[in-house]
Chains A and B, each alone.
Chain A
Amino acid sequence: MDLHQLWTILSAPDNIAIVVLLLAVPFYAWYGLRQAFANDRLIDRLEADPEMAKTHHRKTQPYRPEWDKEVHVWPYLLRIEFLAAIIVTVILLVWSIAINAPLEEPANPTLTMNPAKAPWYFLGLQEMLVYFDPWIAGVVMPTLIILGLMAIPYIDTNPLGSGYYTFKQRKFAILTFFFGFLVLWLTMIFIGTFIRGPGWMWFWPGQTWDPNRVIFEVNRDLPDIFGITSRAGKFFFGATVIAAWCVAAGVFIHKLITATPFSRKIYRRMSLLQYAVMQFFLIGMLSLPVKILARLLFRIKYVWVTPWFNV
């Protein structure tokens, strides 16, 4: 256990942002979910008691009939904004006084940094380079992430849960977002920052970064395992495997989104286009960890090998 190595990584000035993020995201996830569960308990009571549902103000916030529904922005909101601005300024000042921005040697094209790492918020994408060719990891995947995020409001046909925290009414949406944001995005950033060392090799936290370390690891393509050698054979085999995977993942996702009576109700509200777009992005999202595990556990490099591109 090389604590010094661990400390070197943790205390690198640029990594402090990730440490902040890794603390802040669980905190806010807890903070949001706590309100969601409190709301869910009230929802249960309201569903069970229609009379109460007619008269209740339907919030967990304190309520009295004589209170105004709205308050003046000045002073009730502006004083909070002012306070927030001061607090952010203080945090930023203290952070800037305490820790210096990194500055390495002058840029030198002849001296490669090892490891050469992208800024922390792109480390997830850089980590993807291990599992996919650059055109997927660096171009297609970011584009799909952006488009997929943009598509969310148009494919979520669940009318409930607009404007309040809830888990019960939006289980699928929230679990999907947690999977994408926490499990995929943040985990990839975490691996890229704390795990990947010289040569982009896997170093467990506390393991010494040894620039001379050699890992003898032969990665295979999936067709090779099955002894397929011809070009056309590889092409069609890969295409078949990918197609079969997409169908299997699609069926799995379909089962998930029609699992309960409530989710079937939401499903019935979807147009064909909404359903197809949703399947497209969810299959893509699900393929990511599968390829990662195939690579890490079975050392599979490509599934689909063609003369023009490899997947």
Chain B
Amino acid sequence: MQESNGKPGDGGRGPGAGDGPRTVGDLVANAKAVRSRAAEELKQTVHAPKKTDVWKSVLRVKHDETPRSRSLGVLSNVFLHLHPSKINRDAVAYNYTWGMGGMTFYVYITLVFTGTLLMFYYHPSKVVAFRDILYLENDVPFGKLLRNMHRWGAHLMVIMVELHMFRVFLTGSYKKPREFNWVVGVILLVLTLLLSFTGYLLPDDQLGYWAVTVGTNMARATPLLGAAGPFGPQLGMTPYHDVRFGLLGGSIVDANALLRAYIWHCIGIPILASTFMIVHFWRVRKDGGISGPAPMMLESEIRDRGPGTRGQGRDVVSPAP
């Protein structure tokens, strides 16, 4: 290990350095010198690991308790840099955000993790899909726990997304300048429901089969694009050529539907959802961080302006001190 500011050995004489007399006494003396130097270097490393080059190369900045270090610790870390370095002091209390957005993201990560592990044991094939679940439940170590965590995590995510939306509405956080991020959030809500729905079919049991049958039967009735929908037949839609057929890869829920659900569930929608999440988080920062708790505005401070002038200049004058 190279020391950056340690003592430079004993006079630069390393092992085997120089060509002095090679008696046994010299060799022993040399060996002792090397040993004491090694002990010295080890001691320095153990006593001050933060001064080693390895440590510095990994963490890049100091982590002492100065404001600068605290900021850099967040800003220069790839996992933490979504955060600002400082945040509204009232926003860290639980009562404002309920923590639902962050916890939703955490549950999503949990689902990606458990889902990936489940993929090791699952074949999206009508022949073995159900047997894979039985295998997973009965033979794979912790397989039952894995499946349970994925199932309940999915339910938890739907609940948390709805509560997150509820909070954002109650605090008026969708208002200017965060309108578009609300739209992204609605898309994420839909993707969450679709993720959950596509996963429902995968065990290939009666529950999933009939749930997906009920669900996709509605696609049959899509106006214009479904074989049984208004104006569908007039436009040439048949059970073998309409939007439901495209979803299922067939006219009934069968092997192709299982494969399609699997691909949407494991590849398609997660990529879409991750992409929109990136936009969602990015926009939270770009729109000025989380919305509050902000100073309250009063009715008397609204600028009474004509219709359609919204978005031009400030809506409310005289912000609080």
Interface residues of A (CB under 8 A from B): 14, 16-17, 20-21, 24-25, 28-29, 31-33, 35-36, 39, 42-43, 46-47, 53-59, 61, 67-78, 80-81, 84-85, 88-89, 91-93, 95-97, 99-109, 111-113, 116-122, 125-126, 129, 133-135, 137-140, 146, 149-150, 152-154, 156-166, 169-170, 173-174, 177, 181, 262, 265, 268-272, 274, 308-309
Contacts and interface: CB of A to CB of B under 8 A. Distances in A.
A68 to B, nearest CB: 7
Contact of A163 (B171, B211, B215, B234): B171
B86 A70 contact: yes
A109 B252 contact: yes
A250 to B, nearest CB: 18
Contacts of A74: 70, 73-74, 80
Nearest to A81: B102
Contacts of B213: 116
B152 A95 contact: yes
Contacts of A33: 170
Contacts of B89: 67-71, 76
Nearest to A63: B90
A134 B217 contact: yes
B227 to A, nearest CB: 11
In the complex, which range does the number of interface residues on chain B fall in? 35 or more
Interface in B275-321: 291-300, 302, 304-310, 315-316, 320-321
A112 B211 CA distance: 11
Contact of B294 (A36, A76, A158, A162): A162
Contacts of A100: 144, 148
A289 B231 CA distance: 27
B223 A61 contact: no
B92 A71 contact: yes
A121 B20 CA distance: 85
A92 B167 contact: no
A119 B211 contact: yes
> Would you call the interface of chain A mostly helix, strand, loop, or mixed?
helix
Contact of A107 (B110, B179, B208, B215): B208
A139 B304 contact: no
Contact of B197 (A99, A104, A122, A152): A122
B233 to A, nearest CB: 10
A139 B222 contact: yes
A239 B3 CA distance: 87
B206 A84 contact: no
B178 interface: yes
Contacts of A88: 103, 106-107, 110, 156
A59 B171 CA distance: 13
Contacts of B221: 133-135, 138-139
Contacts of B99: 80-81, 84
Given A97-B145, A109-B209, A135-B221, A119 B197 contact: yes
Contact of A104 (B207, B228, B307): B207
Contacts of B178: 153
Contact of B133 (A46, A80, A103): A103
9 contacts: A14-B207, A46-B298, A53-B298, A74-B74, A135-B218, A146-B190, A153-B174, A153-B176, A164-B294
Contacts of B295: 57-59, 164
A158 to B, nearest CB: 8
A25 B166 contact: yes
Nearest to A159: B315
B172 A164 contact: yes
Contact of B87 (A73, A152, A159, A174): A73
Contact of A116 (B159, B170, B214): B214
Contacts of B110: 88-89, 92
A196 to B, nearest CB: 12
Given A28-B98, A72-B87, A113-B206, 4 more contacts: A69-B89, A119-B211, A154-B179, A271-B308
B172 A92 contact: no
A308 B215 contact: no
A54 B318 CA distance: 9
Given A28-B166, A43-B296, A169-B299, A111 B87 contact: no
Nearest to A182: B166
A61 B316 contact: no
B220 interface: yes
Contacts of B207: 14, 102-104, 113
Contacts of B175: 153, 156, 158-159, 161-163
B95 A31 contact: yes
B135 to A, nearest CB: 12
